[in-house]
Structure 1
């Protein structure tokens, strides 16, 4: 995983709210922005801002259906990031 990508993922996960959002997405196969907003309890623009950061880091995928956006975990990026971190445990 390129160092620039590692730093983007790490930065995306450095915020407590983004971690909560990411965990919620990870526990769901796919979840809408509206559902995330309801479960996290923050305003929709705030949630959208955090989702954009998670998406730009590559941690989450977005699928648009009509006016709704559905988010899911990008397993490849998560696995690559985990493998990068595991290199330092030996």
Structure 2
């Protein structure tokens, strides 16, 4: 995983709201923006902003169906990020 991508993932997960959103996505096979908005309790434009950041970091996938957007975890990107972090833990 490129260092630029590592930094994007780290920045995306550095925000408490994005962490909550990511956890919701990770606990679901797939979840809509509407469901996320209802569960987090913020306005839809705010949720969309956070989802865009997560998507741009590469750890979240989006699937469009009509007017709805469904989000899921990008398992490969998450595994690459985890492997990157694990390298430093195992060197201690």
TM-score by length of 2: 0.97
1:48 aligns with 2:44: no
Residue number in structure 1 paired with 2:78: 78
Structure 1 segment 2-81 matched on structure 2, within 5 A: 2-81=2-81
1:11-38 deviation line (CA, Å, top 9, x unaligned): 0000000000000000000000000000
State the shift of 1:45 in Å.
Answer: 0.2
Gap runs ≥5 in structure 2: none
SS of corresponding position for 2:79: helix
| 4+ residue runs over 6 A deviation | none
The structure with the largest helix share of the pair is: 2
CA distance in 1: counterparts of 2:85 and 2:32, whole angstroms? 30
State the shift of 1:73 in Å.
Answer: 0.2
Alpha-carbon RMSD: 0.4
State the shift of 1:66 in Å.
Answer: 0.4
**Count of equivalent residues:** 90
Gap runs ≥5 in structure 1: none
